[in-house]
Amino acid sequence: MQMSGLGINCKLLRGWCFAMLCLLVPAVSAQAQSSPSEPASVETLEWTVWPLPGVINIGDGKPTDGAAMDLLRLIMSELPAFAPNYRLGNRFRQQQDMQQGQNFCSAPLFRRADSDEYGYFVPFMASTPIQLVIRRSAADEFPIENGTISLARLAERDDLRGGYSGFRTYPPAVSHWLEQAREDGRVEKATGTPSGENILRMVSLERIDYAFEFSILINTVNKHFRSGEPLRGVPIKGHRALVEAGIYCSRTPWGKRVAGELDRVIRELASDPETLLALYRPWVPEETYGLYKADLQAYYRQRASRPAVLE
């Protein structure tokens, strides 16, 4: 009798354990399915950005907004695997750090043969052409015809003195003109701030007669001047083509991989030009925007189908 009772108790115990197991397995399975997966690791992407009024604006020593900064933030929002860390820099520091093999990207920059030696270039955004900057009140002193000025005619005016920034890279046509003008003693080099804002102030305060700058910077600086003459940008005759600015990433395996990711996102965004053109509106003068809107649309449509050459 005792053995029989023990057998019954064992059977009951096994049945109870089986029932509990049936109840626990679905619960554990459901919990496993509902538990969020471990978050993927996020990689820091170090950025060096150039302070340029209206392009990369600065507040409390940090980049805030501007046409290029707004676009950079839009691009990074499409790359959740990367966490951006922005620092201010200049061309000398960018060159030095990339030559040392540090992994980072820098913007906005014009393409240069020497920069290609240590960085991968990714076309980033288009700028309206550089202009001659003069005081509005001095327009009659310049050989302006039909709203534009000829660099050849300007070179004939020894009575007009110009200036340029030693920190900046100018488009080829203007760079060559400045080189000759420097040899002729018609322009002077200024250092000061890397942004070149000091050059515009020198024009405004009548220390020099002209400089060369992009409309976004002219427009932004005009709004913040508290003294001096208001400035005006004059289109340069024969130089209507947009100027392409880009991103340089270090010429390392890391840099090539990141440049490819940036290029992919830029081309995806460029497939809808209006999204990118909206970033210009707060910064580009209305007249300039209207003049080049069709060109900007065409540039981004073409950029959407043109991968960056990373070699």
The domain locations on the chain are 43-127+242-304, 131-235
Q: Residue 19 pLDDT > 80, yes or no?
A: no
State residue 40's pLDDT score. 64
Give domain 131-235's CATH number out of 3.40.190.10, 3.40.35.10, 3.50.50.60, 1.10.3720.10.
3.40.190.10
Helix (H, G, I), strand (E, B) or coil at 203: helix
Amino acid 285 reads: P
Lowest mean pLDDT among 94-98, 188-192, 272-276: 188-192
Q: Residue 4 pLDDT > 50, yes or no?
A: no
**What span, in angstroms and rounded, lies between the C-alpha atoms of 107 and 72?**
9
Per the model's pLDDT, the better-predicted residue between 76 and 13 turns out to be: 76
Q: Are strands 105-109 and 43-49 parallel, antiparallel or unpaired?
A: parallel
pLDDT band at 198 (very low <50, low <70, confident <90, very high): confident
**What span, in angstroms and rounded, lies between the C-alpha atoms of 45 and 22?**
49
Q: Residue 37 pLDDT > 50, yes or no?
A: no
Tens-digit pLDDT profile for residues 209-257 = 999 999 999 999 888 877 789 999 999 999 999 999 999 999 999 999 9
Q: Residue 27 pLDDT > 90, yes or no?
A: no
Helix (H, G, I), strand (E, B) or coil at 171: coil
pTM value surpassing 0.85: no
Query: Using an 8 Å Cβ cutoff, are 57 and 69 in contact?
Result: yes
Helix H or strand E segment including 304: helix 286-304
Query: Using an 8 Å Cβ cutoff, are 180 and 155 in contact?
Result: yes
Tens-digit pLDDT profile for residues 126-153 = 999 999 999 999 999 999 999 999 999 9
Which structure tokens are listed for 236?
């340069």
**What span, in angstroms and rounded, lies between the C-alpha atoms of 239 and 273?**
23
Tens-digit pLDDT profile for residues 272-310 = 999 999 999 999 989 899 999 999 999 999 999 999 999
Q: Residue 259 pLDDT > 80, yes or no?
A: yes
Q: Residue 32 pLDDT > 80, yes or no?
A: no
Which structure tokens are listed for 290?
């209207």
CA angle at residue 204 from 200 to 206, to 5 degrees?
115
CATH class of the domain comprising 43-127+242-304: alpha beta
Greatest Cα pair distance, the chain, in angstroms, is 127
Domains 43-127+242-304 and 131-235 share a fold: yes
Reported as half-sphere exposure (CB side, CA atoms, 13 A), residue 145 has a value of: 8
Q: What is the mean pLDDT of the chain?
A: 87
Going through the chain in order, the beta strands assigned E by DSSP cover 43-49, 58-59, 62-63, 82-88, 105-109, 119-127, 131-135, 144-145, 148-149, 162-165, 187-190, 211-213, 231-235, 243-250
**What span, in angstroms and rounded, lies between the C-alpha atoms of 161 and 207?**
9
Helix (H, G, I), strand (E, B) or coil at 94: helix
Q: DSSP letters of 103-150?
A: --EEEEE---HHHHTTEEEEEEEEEPPPEEEEEGGGGGGS-EETTEE-
Query: Using an 8 Å Cβ cutoff, are 126 and 89 in contact?
Result: no
CA angle at residue 122 from 51 to 88, to 5 degrees?
20
Q: What would you report as the CA-atom Rg of the chain, rounded to the nearest whole angstrom?
A: 30
State residue 48's pLDDT score. 95
Lowest mean pLDDT among 9-18, 201-210, 261-270: 9-18
Lowest mean pLDDT among 5-14, 124-133, 251-260: 5-14
